[in-house]
Chains A and B, each alone.
Chain A
Amino acid sequence: MLAEFGSVSLLLALVAAVYAIIAAVIGARRQSERLILSARNAALLTCPLLIAASLTLLIALVSGEYQLSYVWSTSDPNTPLFFRITALWGSQKGSILFWSTLMSVFAAAALLINWRSQRRLMPYVTAYMMATLAFFLVLNIFYENPFERWWLYEGSDVSWQATGLTDSQQSDITRALGGIGIESSEQISAQVAGITCVDSNRASEIKQVLQGIGIISVVETSPSGCVGQSIFPPEGGFSPTATRLAETAQGLNPLLRHFGMIIHPPMLYLGFVGFVIPFAFAMAALASGDLSTNWIKATRRWTLVAWLFLSLGLILGGRWAYDVLGWGGYWGWDPVENAAFLPWLVGTAFLHSVMIQEKRGMLKVWNMFLVIGTFSAVIFGTFATRSGLIDSVHSFARSEIGFPMFFFWSGITLVSVGLILWRWNRGELKDDHRFMNLLSRETLFVLNNVVFLLLFVVIFWGSFGAPVVSELFLDTNITLGTDYFYQVTPALFIALYVLMGIAPLSAWGATSLSRLGRSMLIPGALTAGVLVLILLSGMTDPGVLVGYGVVTLAGFVAANEIYRGVSARMRGLGENPLQAFLSLFARNRRRYGGYTIHIGVTIIGIGVIGSTLFQQETQRTLSVGESLDIGGYQMTYLGFQPGQVADDGRIMDIATVAVSRNNQTLAEIRPRRDFYPGSEGMNSSTIAGAYSTVENDFYVLLVDWEPITARSATFKVYINPLINLVWWGGLILIIGTLVAAWPAETVPAALRERRFTGKQVKARARA
């Protein structure tokens, strides 16, 4: 019943989305209010339908409906409720459904919030949002359906000798089977190929066709038990027993059984789907011809919200990797991580560049390209990670969703670029102003955009470009790892921090060097002070000094700007520091939210430099009672507890080590290995033990141990300096984004005046 209900909900959502596209486009062309409203209602309807589909799958997961193959493959009777819920996005089919549901929620919110203010754009916005949603629903219904069930049925195998066949015979077989609707044959063993589990009529048909092209040794087995997946039962099919299903259920991938997984993927998906809204508005502007700043005003907050979630997803992903993947770091420049980072880079460039269009009416074409680039990067990242492109350029062709996703990504990108070029060619995207001075905020923002895009290019090239090009044209598989990224990205990050320091101090239009110099005086002096302290601590590496110099300068500039704003309010309005601080942020959320984000990015930068350049590591095998020394710490192996069984059935092997410094014990930590007996494939995970301080993390991994007695065990130990600043900086970045994205209160001037105290009114009058 759950499978039927879920499938029907998905199908109805697809019908509603397709109807909304058609009605919105025809309604906009014919200026038919009735059709446009009908399109809106259909688009809104997708939201409850998809929520119903997701809830259905959730109920199936929670109640252990193992006949649903998705539930069977992502949970088992030992899986705790917490992970049953997170299993909703624990595998491809469920995550696409979850993605579609979030997209429909975003779409509904955008329709409800912007309907009145953006009437001209909304029909096209509806069409674009629903086109994207419809595509994902097609994937969910026809390629990756989470409501498919296991069925048992009787069927025969038809097999033949595979060795000794010529290429021509092979292609004859493929052609002949294709002629009766069978795409390819299964390689049953090295010698035997065949078609498994077909009914007796089909088996006879295959046998005849193959014998007709001269394949003599065709064998048809007598009917026996077969297992298949489909939503509705095949002819003669019956469901396996509940006990059998529960016994064989696979459980969630061990790497996904972590608290971070409850929030990291949803945040990332929210970030991804959030960028659909600015994209749809940009496309609507191009399609409707309303190329004013309306679309930008309508999408600024949506972009910030998407950016917020994407940032949060990236930070939480880093934390999850640090805790669960067991390699001592949080960012491995892995293509999957990079696929999520790429839209963030273009989206950040867009967030900066869009200000130029708002303030100066410039960079209209550029902003269109950036918003499309962001969305295109989202779809490309999804395509690359889900189609298997990362494993091999050829594997995406074997993936069921590889080709559809590739066509959607390339199609939507080409159509969007085509629309921009068409409008551009018609002269409808001309800038209102020109750049007046090389030293102006807009010029510096353009440079900032260039650096962001250069980062995009080098990361894209390292993650996807070079491996694909080398495989396609040079017939060699290569991996570009951290070495490559450490060679090409630092210079660009330094440039970014330099611009982050200078740009906020420059003015729109033009600024003078003397004014810029004066503004830089205090932050510059503070930075010099920090550099002197670093030098005094004995670090003379030019790379470290440059790194910390530019990063702290950017932070001091932002902090100084906030300080100056607070001072001005305290002096001018007689407010106390807290009052002045809060009012300052409340009255200009975007500016001071932005500065807070810059401070967050600075703190992240300090953490990244510290944990990357000064990381220490060692690997040693210790006997019980033996110690190792690293970075001024001493670690002693105290003992081992093998085979501890957790509530969820996982078996934990736990080592206990003591961490001390200057002969004083600081902590006892318990790195461990978790084994998941029921899981196939990767059935263990390495959970680090860590002693965390502001200064560093003492991070221990249990690598191996002596069997049975565990009298000796091998540990990999890392000292990760300043690593916690990465998480704290991330938190500040999120707070800053929330401040910047928070809707401003619009209070009439008269009411605003009444809110001031007498003293403040006098102070304002004096000012």
Chain B
Amino acid sequence: MKNTWIVVRGLLLACFLLVVLPAAAQNLTITDDDVNAIAKQMYCPVCENIPLDVCGTAACDQWRGEIRTQLEQGYTEEEIITDFINRFGERVVGTPQDPLLRAVSLVTPWIVGLVMLIVVVLNFTRWRKPRPVTTAPASITDDVYRDRLEADLKTRR
């Protein structure tokens, strides 16, 4: 009898939690700042390249409303962004989430940069190779103005 009572109490508690916890979750106060923190990472659906948090169109208002609703329903930031990408494509975010697109977007400029650096280094090495020098520099510098300035400062000290 005692065990049955414990089971009944456990079931009642479980029912209470099932009812109360989602309601509590739905009553979370979602601030504009919470919405904007996510909207900042997304872009206006109808105007080019305007972040969603600062965009003034009706479409942006609607999207921000959707973010608020999803936050109220307990979705995480990542889930919300993924949901928007699934519905509207990669264009809604500032950096693509798809691994291939992300790699293409972020790695390509560095590859180009690396190639440029290699070319420069190779050229420097080539340029520095000794060759018959017709006129050796008299001093290590030919910056006449600077030498004169240094001399002036030294003499007057």
A residues with a Cβ closer than 8 A to B are 326-328, 332, 334-335, 359, 390-391, 434-438, 441, 443, 446-447, 450, 453-454, 457-458, 461-462, 465-466, 469-470, 474, 476-484, 487-488, 507-512, 564-565, 567-568, 571-572, 588, 591, 617-621, 684, 686, 714, 716, 767
Contact = CB atoms under 8 A, between A and B. Distances in A.
B116 A450 contact: yes
Contacts of A390: 48-49
B37 to A, nearest CB: 10
Contacts of B149: 564-565, 568
A511 B120 contact: no
Contacts of A621: 32
B142 A335 contact: no
Nearest to A572: B152
Interface string B17-44: 0000000000000011100100001010
Interface of B: 31-33, 36, 41, 43, 48-51, 54, 56, 89-96, 98, 100-101, 104-106, 108-110, 112-113, 116-117, 120, 124, 127-128, 131, 137, 140-143, 145-146, 149, 152-153, 155-156
Contacts of A484: 94-95, 105-106
14 contacts: A450-B120, A454-B109, A454-B113, A457-B113, A466-B108, A470-B104, A476-B89, A482-B94, A483-B94, A484-B105, A488-B106, A507-B143, A618-B33, A716-B32
B43 to A, nearest CB: 5
Contacts of B89: 476-477
A68 B124 CA distance: 60
Given A476-B101, A477-B90, A478-B105, A511 B95 contact: no
Given A564-B149, A564-B153, A509 B137 contact: yes
Interface residues of chain B: helix, strand, loop or mixed (majority): helix
A390 B49 CA distance: 9
Contacts, number: 166
Given A443-B124, A507-B141, A511-B140, A480 B94 contact: yes
A481 B120 contact: no
Contacts of B33: 617-619
Contact of A457 (B31, B32, B56, B109): B109
Nearest to A328: B54
Given A484-B95, A716-B54, 13 more contacts: A326-B54, A327-B50, A447-B120, A474-B104, A476-B91, A477-B91, A488-B110, A508-B142, A509-B141, A510-B140, A571-B153, A572-B156, A588-B145
Contact of B109 (A328, A462, A507): A462
Given A478-B101, A588-B145, A568 B152 contact: yes
A618 B32 CA distance: 8
B51 A327 contact: yes
Contacts of B127: 434-435
Contacts of A470: 90, 96, 101, 104-105
Given A327-B54, A470-B101, A567 B153 contact: yes
Contact of A488 (B54, B91, B109, B153): B109
Nearest to B128: A435
Nearest to B112: A457
A564 B131 CA distance: 38
Contacts of A510: 137, 140-141
A391 B49 CA distance: 9
Contacts of A487: 95, 106
Query: Top 4 A-B pairs ranked by shortest CB distance?
Result: A481-B94, A507-B141, A327-B54, A619-B32
B112 A479 contact: no
A450 B121 CA distance: 11
B141 A508 contact: yes
A457 B116 contact: yes
B104 A469 contact: yes
A686 B113 contact: no
A481 B92 CA distance: 10
A477 B85 CA distance: 11
Nearest to A435: B127
Contacts of A327: 50-51, 54
Contacts of A568: 149, 152-153, 156
A466 B43 contact: no
Given A466-B105, A479-B91, A434 B41 contact: no
Contacts of B90: 470, 476-478
B101 A684 contact: no
A142 B120 CA distance: 45
